Amino acid sequence: MATKKKSRKKASKRKVAKKRKVTAKKKATKRKVKKKVAKRKAKKKVAKRKAKKKAKKKVAKRKAKKKVAKRKAKKKAKKKVAKRKAKKKAKKKVAKRKVKKKAAKRKTKKKASKKKASKKKASRKKK
């Protein structure tokens, strides 16, 4: 009877040991899986951060480009305005010159007509 009891005890001990091993293995695999998942998540996080940085850079680049374009446009506009002003000035100058010429012509005409008149007068007096 005692031997049967002993063998039963041994068997139960073996069972317990086996169960313990199985649970330990299960726990280890669970831990491994957890680690893997954590690693994957961390990788995703890093990738996300990198993507965000890239996006920010892109936005900054676009903004910088826009700024440069704006500056260039402003310069162009200024040049256009300056050109227009210069044209106006030139036109005014030409107009002034024309007016001066006209006035000078008028003066010479008057002088000539005066001369003519005085000549006529003189010729009339002679008679």
Residues of the chain with pLDDT under 50: 1
**Cα–Cα dist 37/33, whole Å:** 6
Q: Which residue has the tokens 């690693």?
A: 39
Q: Which pLDDT belongs to residue 77?
A: 96
pLDDT value of residue 42: 96
Q: Is the dihedral of CA 83, 86, 88, 94 positive or negative?
A: negative
Residue 122 token pair: 């003189």
Provide the pLDDT for residue 105: 84
Rounded Cα gap, residues 115 and 113, in angstroms? 5
Q: What is the dihedral of CA 93, 96, 102, 107, to 10 degrees?
A: -120
Both tokens of 105, joined, read 């012509």
State if pTM tops 0.85.
no
